[in-house]
Amino acid sequence: MSGGVKTVRVELAERAYDILIGEGLIARAGELIRPLMKAGRDRVFVVADENVARLHLDKLGAGLKAAGISFQTTQVPPGEGSKSFGQLDNVLGDLIGHGAERDDLIIAFGGGVVGDLTGLAAGLLKRGARFVQIPTTLLAQVDSSVGGKTAINSRAGKNMVGLFHQPVLVLADLDVLETLPVRERFAGLAEIAKYALIDDPQFFDFLETNAAALAEGHKATLAEAVRVSCSSKARIVAIDETEQAERALLNLGHTFGHALERANEYRPSLLHGEGVGAGMAMALRYSVKLGVCPGQDAVRAERLLNALGLATRIRDLGGGPYKADELLAHMAHDKKARNGRLTLILARGIGQAYIQRDADLEPLKQFLVSEAEDG
């Protein structure tokens, strides 16, 4: 791929696909998608975030038309509230109403919410249609668009209703990050830091050195961080696609973070990445409390997250209130639980995340009480 575009391959045998990372990819979407379309097909179906449609749909449409591809568009309201049964029904109704068939391509054009919702709709449509991810937030580019996890939220919790359905292509266009609100950029940097904390201390060093540039949105630095992050996730997904073992490590910070989101009722005062950022800091502090992680590593991780624009203490988070008993109850219903037992992703140090199954709830409760009181 020319023009400075980087390619990361997700190796999943006959379902392998490429992640393309670079500039100008939305304008070239038609030429990049055309080879994936079935013979005789000349249309696609776009599901777009309303804000993304306002900013970037004309560019995507022009690129599709230049390749001789027509398209139908369904727009979805921005925000976590769109990961719902109601919006899933709306999207499926539009796709079916417009005559979408299993051999057609569906394009998810937006952040993680639209990617999750569209991927689930594609997986359900006539028992499985193919789809392309065009993620427009930093968080979606490095995390939710890669790996095939699709889901909506329910009364029982976040991402409780979903399936594994891999895309056939991911186009991570760095140009769209220029219109991304600063807060959304910081939220995406949380997921980038996650890969370093899981198993890549060298990447952690890179992030420490370049934290200011990343926080300011320096494109070349972001491009490298996106590449490394996507490579890390692709490697883990290829080993454990359906999260039977190693892939659970990608949930570092998420059990704590999802509980914070749930306690805040998914309001926009706490973004997913903000919850994950605080959740990772909490996971490392809890690891220190358990005596498995050096205290200086938790401090170092917290300093990096702060430098990337992220709050790491409950007292500094938007939204709330965040009460210890509610957080523990939400964590107990986390989808990673097995046989009624809580699974936590903890760390023995920077780059040394591990899976703690059958976590003891009593010390966790005491920890959450101290965190909430500190907050």
pLDDT, mean of residues 70-86 = 96
pLDDT for residue 113: 96
pLDDT, mean of residues 111-115 = 96
pLDDT for residue 339: 62
Question: Residue 354, Cβ neighbours under 10 Å: how many?
Answer: 16
Gap between the Cα atoms of 245 and 242, Å rounded: 9
pLDDT, mean of residues 202-214 = 98
pLDDT, greater one: 246 or 194: 194
Q: What is the mean pLDDT of the chain?
A: 94
% of the chain beyond a pLDDT of 90: 90
pLDDT for residue 335: 61
How many alpha carbons fall within 13 Å on the CB side of residue 298?
24
As annotated, the residues of the chain forming the CATH 3.40.50.1970 domain(s) are 6-179
pLDDT for residue 155: 87
pLDDT, mean of residues 279-283 = 98
Catalogue the active-site residues: 127, 149, 191, 233, 243, 247, 251, 254, 258, 272
The pLDDT confidence band at residue 337, using thresholds 50, 70 and 90, is low
Gap between the Cα atoms of 64 and 82, Å rounded: 26
pLDDT for residue 1: 46
**Helix (H) or strand (E) run with residue 117 in it:** helix 112-124
Residue 375 pLDDT more than 60? Answer: no
pLDDT for residue 373: 85
365: buried, middle or exposed (CB in 10 Å: 19+, 13-18, 0-12)?
middle
Gap between the Cα atoms of 304 and 300, Å rounded: 6
The top-level CATH class assigned to 6-179 is alpha beta
% of the chain beyond a pLDDT of 70: 97
Q: Does domain 182-374 have CATH number 1.20.1090.10?
A: yes
Gap between the Cα atoms of 312 and 33, Å rounded: 40
Residue 210 pLDDT more than 90? Answer: yes
pLDDT for residue 338: 62
Rounded (10°) angle between helices 182-199 and 219-239: 50
pLDDT for residue 2: 47
Q: Which of 210-224, 235-249, 293-307 has the lowest mean pLDDT?
A: 235-249
pTM, 2 dp: 0.93
pLDDT for residue 3: 57
As annotated, the residues of the chain forming the CATH 1.20.1090.10 domain(s) are 182-374
